[in-house]
Amino acid sequence: MTAALTPIKTLPACDSASLQQIIATATTPLVFQQQCLHWPLVQAGLDSAAAAADYLRQFYQGEPVNACLVPAGHQGRVFYNEDCTGFNFQAGKVDFNQFLDRLLAQAADDASTWYMGSTDIQRWFNGLAKENSIVLPGITPLTSLWIGNQSRIAAHYDFPHNLACNVVGSRTFTLFPPEQIANLYPGPMEFAPGGQDISMVDFEQPDLQQFPRFTQALAAAQTATLAPGDVLFIPSMWWHHVKALTPFNALLSHWWRDTPAYLGRPNNALLMSILSLRSLPKAQRQAWKAMFEHYIFDHDEVSQQHIPDAAQAMLAKPISELQARQLRADLLNKLKR
C-alpha cells in the first residue's frame, strides 16, 4: 500500500466505565493509547519476549493449541494456495511450550512464519484473564490469544465488536467500513484461512489491474500501528487487515455482540438467501429486496400498530427468546421437507 491512509482516531487511556460509554455509541474504530499498559503480560513483554513467554507458560492448561507454519516464500502472508483449493501453510496441533520454544529459537535469517490464531484463554490459559483483560459491566466477551512472529492476516470482518489489546510487540491494523466489501474483492465463502471470508488483495503488492476498485477501498481506509498496551476498538462488520511487525508479538481480542445469542448468527441468513433468492429472476429478487427492506432493514420506521399486540408474534420488536426458538424450530422443520 502506497497511499497515505487516514489515521484511526486516538484517545487517551480511561477507566472502564468511560471506555464502555465511549464504545457504546461508537460507529468507527478508536484507539485507546496505553489502555492496558499496566497489565502484567504487557510489562513482561516490555522486558523481553522470553519474559512474556514465561509469563504465559504458567497459565497453560496442557491441551495442544492450533498453530501453523507459513514457509518463507510467502513473506508471512497467511493465505490460500495458488488455485484456492487449500492453504499456503501447514497447520496442526502442538504443545504450547514447544510452539513458544520454536518461536523464540527462530534464527534472524529465517523468514518463515509461526502463528497461533484465535485461542480461547478460558480453555487454554485459565487464570490469565484475572489481571489481563478488559472488564465491561454487563458484557461477557469471548477473549482469545493470538501469538506469532511477523505475519500478514488478510482483510476480513467479524460480526461481533472487538476490543483488540496489543500486549506484546507491535502490529498495524488497516480497517475499512462494511460498505467497502465490493472494493475488497472477497474470496471463496466455503472456506478461508481463519474461517471467515477474506479479501483476495495482497496489501503489500496490490494488483490494480486485477483489483482496480481497491483504490476506492484505500480512500475509505483507516490505519493505526499499535504499541504494547494500546487497545483498538473494531466495530461490528468492519473489515480489518493485520500486519504483525515484530519477531514475537501477542494480541488479546475481546469479542461480544449487542444482541442475545438466541437470535442466531446473521451469516446463516445470508447463506439461506444465497440458497433461495440469489438465482431468482431479477424482478423477483427486486420484489424480495422490498420485502427485506420492509421487514428487516427499515423495521425501525415501520409501524405494526395495525396488528393487535397479541397477534404480532415474530413481528414484535424485539423478538422474545420463546418466539425466536419457535421460529428456529419452524425453519428446521421446513428445511427437512
pLDDT in tens, 252-288: 999 999 988 888 899 999 999 999 999 999 999 999 9
Do 241 and 113 belong to one domain? yes
pLDDT at 191 over 70: yes
| pLDDT tens digits along 111-165 | 999 999 999 999 999 999 999 999 998 899 999 999 999 999 999 999 999 999 9
Closest CA to 173 of 118, 281, 72, 245: 245
Q: Which residues contact 96 (CB under 8 A, 6 or more apart)?
A: 56, 57, 60, 64, 65, 116, 124
Residues paired with residue 2 on neighbouring β-strands, in sequence order: none
**Nearest-angstrom CA–CA distance, 220 and 5:** 8
Residue 46 has which C-alpha cell? 516490555
Give the C-alpha separation, 94 to 117, whole Å: 13
Same domain for 64 and 208, yes or no, is yes
Which of 116-130, 187-201, 304-318 is the most confident on average? 116-130
**Centroid of chain to Cα 47:** 29
pLDDT interval class at 317 (50, 70, 90): confident
For 21, the domain range is: 6-258
Residues 200 and 84 in one domain: yes
In the chain, the number of structural domains is 2
Residue 236 has pLDDT above 60, yes or no: yes
Same domain flag for 287 and 142 = no
Q: Is residue 1 part of a domain?
A: no
How many other C-beta atoms are found inside a 10 Å radius of the C-beta of residue 219? 12
Residue that terminates a domain, selected from 217, 240, 258: 258
Task: Indicate the angle between helix axes 96-105 and 49-57, nearest 10 degrees.
Answer: 170
User: Radius of gyration over alpha carbons of the chain, in Å?
Assistant: 22
Omega cis (within 30) before 71: no
Report the amino acid identity of residue 332: L
Residues 244 and 270 both lie in one domain: no
Asked if residue 65 is part of any domain, the answer here is yes
Q: Cα separations (Å) of 167 from 31, 49, 89, 231? A: 14, 11, 25, 9
In a shared domain, residues 118 and 254: yes
- Tell me, what's the pLDDT at 109? 85
Q: State the distance between the two ends of the chain, measured CA to CA, in whole angstroms.
A: 50
**243 and 285 belong to one structural domain:** no
Average pLDDT, the chain: 94
> Could you tell me the three cell numbers for 270?
445470508
Domain shared by 129 and 252, yes or no: yes
- DSSP collapsed to 3 states, the chain: CCCCCEECEEEECCCHHHHHHHHHCCCCCEEEECCCCCCHHHHHHHHCHHHHHHHHHCCCCCCCEEEEEECHHHCCEECECCCCCCECCEEEEECHHHHHHHHHHCCCCCCCEEEEEEEEHHHHCCCHHHCCCCCCCCCCCEEEEEEECCEEEEEECCCCEEEEEEEECCEEEEEECHHHHHHHCECCCCCCCCCCCEECCCCCCCCCCCCCCHHHHHHHCEEEEECCCCEEEECCCCEEEEEECCCCEEEEEEEECCCCHHHCCHHHHHHHHHHHCCCCCHHHHHHHHHHHHHHHHCHHHCCCCCCCHHHCHHHCCCCCHHHHHHHHHHHHHHHCC
Of 227, 39, 37, nearest to 132 by C-alpha is 39
Whether 327 shows a pLDDT value over 90: the answer reads no
How many CB atoms lie under 10 A from the CB of residue 61?
12
Give the whole-angstrom CA distance, residue 252 versus residue 144.
6
Q: Phi then psi for 234, rounded to 5 degrees?
A: -110, 110
CATH number of the domain encompassing residue 249: 2.60.120.10
Domain end, chosen from 238, 258, 278, is at 258
The answer to which of 237-241, 278-282, 327-331 has the lowest mean pLDDT is: 327-331
Q: Are residues 248 and 270 in the same domain?
A: no
For residue 313, is it within any domain?
yes
Is residue 36 in a domain? yes
Q: Say what percent of the chain tops pLDDT 70.
A: 99
Q: Of 258, 280, 308, which marks where a domain is finished?
A: 258
Residues 247 and 293 in one domain: no
What is the chain's length? 337
Query: Could you tell me if 285 and 141 lie in one domain?
Result: no
What is the biggest distance separating any 2 CA atoms in the chain, rounded to whole angstroms? 72
- pLDDT confidence bin for 1, thresholds 50/70/90: low
Same-domain check for residues 153 and 288: no
Retrieve residue 329's grid coordinates. Answer: 424450530
